Amino acid sequence: MNMTSKIDIKHLNLFYGDKQALFNVSLKIPAFQTTALIGPSGCGKSSFLRCLNRMNDIVPHARMEGKVLLDREDIYAPSVDVVELRTRVGMVFQKPNPFPRSIYENVAYGPRIHALFKRKSELDEIVEVSLKRAALWEEIKDRLHQPATRLSGGQQQRLCIARAIAVNPEVILMDEPCSALDPIATAKVEELIDELREKFTLIIVTHNLQQAARVSQQTAFFHSGYLVETGETGALFTMPQDEKTQGYITGRYG
Amino acid sequence: MMASLSSLRKRRLKERCFRWAGLLSVLLALLFLGGILGNIIYKGVPAFFRTEISSKLYPNLLNSHARYTADSLWIVASDDVDMYYKKGYADRLSPPQIQEIKTLKEGGQIRLAFNGGFFSHSDSREPELAGIWGGLVGSCLTLLITFMTAFPLGVGTALYLEEFAPKNQLTHWIEANINNLAAVPSILFGLLGLVLFIHFLGLPRPSALVGGLTLGLMSLPVIVVATRSALLSVPQTLKEAALGLGATPLQVLFHHVVPTALPGIMTGVILSLARALGETAPLLIIGMVAFIATPPAHFLSPATVLPVQIFNWSRSSEMGFIENTSGAILVLLLLLALLNGVAVLIRRRFEALK
């Protein structure tokens, strides 16, 4: 794995009050690849993901130690603007969470608050390109101004991906993006993840091991707050080095 | 199998009992409500009509101000004549007077007409001339002050406490106290208003300003509590979605949280205003109970409000005032229904947008 690493996490510890959620996690995220984070429920993989765009900032009593370097810059340095960081590191959540506005306004919201356009026509283009990249354009191009909440679950999740793409981030974090979707919608989102890899660096948390195997190039296995094993996805699934990893991927526990 | 059958029967019996109890309580509530409403309507609707006489032949049948007022074809009759003509109460009329009314009736010189004065006159010592205009204007001015103070302060407090304040002992203590304040009897707010606004700040006594500020104090905790529960019901996922796109906390608040919570906030505000509109006790304490025969010209002039006027009228023993009391209650109920209707409309409108 000789790629340049987009994000370099060094000795990360995370605490919620007195409870430690992550123990000394170090991981390199390669650019323009998909990294899957797997592990049993409560192992800290979502908490870890939320450290990468400082979403844990809003959790009261959350405290972290260690370094998260994005392009060799520490995102927890005092000089870093969280707002700017989150435009570089976008996020898609477990449950589709479109704003209760029109489809168009959902995608346009990010560009609007960051003033990424000068004319309305430019915004129209951003919206169209983002929806096309999220493979949603064909389905909804005639009803851009209808409420987003009327879309199906799978469409909503792709809309959320389009919304994240619209601010042109470098990294997209996905927290179990398919857990609320049916198999057909899941297949569509997975296909999309594969295409997005050309432009973005992706990190996806998933409970679905087949999904991790299908969409990722690198896989990291978490267990009760520790990063147990990292490796090239094919290798990790066929020849896990650690006993716990083997136990989890063969279905003995988790 | 038998055991499970008997337990099934027991369960069904319990369920049936519960349903019947529920239905019975609903019916009872409706019965009481219907009784009260029916009684008020029966007594109050006649207040919207008055007896008029088109003859100056018998001046003692006319209202007591008739000899000062300009000539008009139909003159408002005295309240005693009014009561006799409407309901047949003859206690306060002498037999010759009753005879005179009969004569007028035969000549078509006495009639029942719409009581415009009930809406356009202010309070009076004479029930046939008393109206609710002064109380209405006073209520509007007072409510305006209440809204202008309690709405921004209450919503601002709730926004700060819910979205920005650190969650520590102090804010916890403040929150608990606000919740308790919402349950404090309203008359205590009257005492507070008396001390704070009249004794300490020296504002003029029975004015809409003082009344409005006092009711504002009373509405404040209610608005804070309602706003906070509306803000709490905004899903965390919505905030996270906006934060994840790089929105600042202030943008999250004003682009997403407040618009989503707005129907809840507005409903809370309107319902607390409705409560303030019907409030009497605190206003009695701050002196709005005085007899005031002119509508207030501005926020500092002596004023009374509709519920206080109802209270004043209800203490009178004259038949005419008893009718007026019910009539004014009807108007007040109508205003309250209107306010509640607005709250429902706002809620519907915003829910349709979702």
B254 and B146 co-located in one domain:
yes
- Claim to verify: residue B108 and residue B151 sit in the same structural domain: no
Note the pLDDT of residue A10.
92
Query: What per-residue confidence (pLDDT) applies to A1?
Result: 43
Residues B140 and B283 placed together within one structural domain of the fold:
yes
Closest CA to B124 of B91, B192, B76: B76
Best mutation target, B163, B164, B245, to test chain A (most A CBs within 10 A): B245
Interchain contact, B245 vs A110, CB within 8 Å:
yes
Q: Is residue B26 part of a domain?
A: no
The amino acid that residue A7 corresponds to is: I
Q: Do A167 and B354 touch (CB under 8 A)?
A: no
Type of residue at B39: N
Single pTM value for the model: 0.81
Counted domains in chain B: 2
Among residues B115, B142, B165, which one ends one of the domains? B115
Number of H helices, E strands in chain B: 14, 3
Cβ–Cβ contacts within 10 Å for residue A58, how many? 15
Q: Which residues in B lie closer than 8 A to residue A160 (C-beta atoms)?
A: 241
Query: Residue A42 is which amino acid?
Result: G
Mean pLDDT of chain B: 88
B325 and B178: one domain? yes
Please tell me whether residues B68 and B188 are part of one structural domain: no
Q: Are residues B238 and B306 in the same domain?
A: yes
**pLDDT for the residue numbered B217:** 93
CB contact under 8 A, A93 and B251: no
CA dihedral over A116, A117, A123, A126, signed as positive or negative: negative
The verdict on residue B180 lying in a domain is yes
Starting at the edge strand found earlier in the chain, the sheet holding A5-16 runs A19-30, A5-16, A62-70, A73-74
Task: Give Cβ neighbours of residue B217 (< 8 Å, ≥ 6 apart).
Answer: B150, B189, B192, B193
For residues B78 and B145, state if they share a domain. Answer: no
Question: Are residues B245 and A86 in contact, defined by beta-carbon separation less than 8 angstroms?
Answer: yes
Residue numbers of chain B with a pLDDT score lower than 50: none
For residue B247, what is the nearest residue in chain A, using CA coordinates? A83
- Subunit contact B256:A97, Cβ cutoff 8 A: no
Closest CA to B49 of B108, B109, B116, B127: B116
On whether the CB atoms of residues B282 and B218 are closer than 8 A, the answer is: yes
User: Is residue B94, in this structure, part of any structural domain at all?
Assistant: yes
List residues of B whose CB lies inside 8 A of any A CB.
167, 235, 237-248, 251, 255-256, 260, 353-354
Q: Do B256 and A99 touch (CB under 8 A)?
A: yes
Rounded to two decimals, the ipTM of the complex is 0.87
Q: Which residues of B touch A167 (CB under 8 A)?
A: 245-246
Instruction: Give the rounded distance of the alpha carbon of A51 from its chain centre.
Output: 11
The CATH number covering residue B315 comes to: 1.10.3720.10
For residue A37, which phi and psi values (nearest 5 degrees)?
A: -110, 120
pLDDT reported for residue B319: 82
Q: Assess whether B54 and B110 both reside in one domain.
A: yes
Chain B: nearest CA to A251, how far in angstroms?
A: 31
State whether B299 and B192 are in the same domain. Answer: yes
CB–CB of A160 and B242 under 8 A? no
Domain assignment of residue B347, yes or no: yes
Please indicate, yes or no, if residue B10 is contained in any of the structural domains.
no
What are the pLDDT digits (tens) for B88-126? 787 788 888 888 888 888 888 888 888 888 888 888 888
**Among the partner residues B237, B243, B256, nearest to A86 by beta-carbon distance:** B243
Beta bridge partners of A147: A102
How far apart, in whole angstroms, are the C-alpha atoms of residue A133 and residue A189? 11
Q: Which of B67, B85, B115 is the last residue of a domain?
A: B115
> Which domain covers residue B343, as residue numbers?
133-353
Compare all CA atoms of chain A with the CA of B164 and give the residue at the minimum distance: A58
Which residue has 């009711």 as its token pair?
A: B215
Last residue of a domain, one of B70, B89, B115: B115
Q: Assess whether B227 and B335 both reside in one domain.
A: yes
- B344 domain residue, yes or no: yes
pLDDT at res. B55: 78
Question: CA B208, CA B196: separation in Å to the nearest integer?
Answer: 15
Interchain proximity A87–B260, CB inside 8 Å: no
CB contact (8 A) between residue B240 and residue A90? no
Contact B277, B340 (CB under 8 A): no
Facing residues of A230 across strands?
A: A220
Q: Which residues of A touch B241 (CB under 8 A)?
A: 93, 97-99, 160, 163
Output phi, psi for B218, to 5 deg: -70, -40
The low-confidence residues of chain A, meaning pLDDT below 50, are: 1-2
Residues B66 and B198 in one domain: no
Whether B138 and B110 share a structural domain:
no
Residue A230 has a pLDDT of: 93
Chain A residues with CB-CB distance to B353 below 8 A: 100, 147
- Tell me if B223 is assigned to some domain: yes
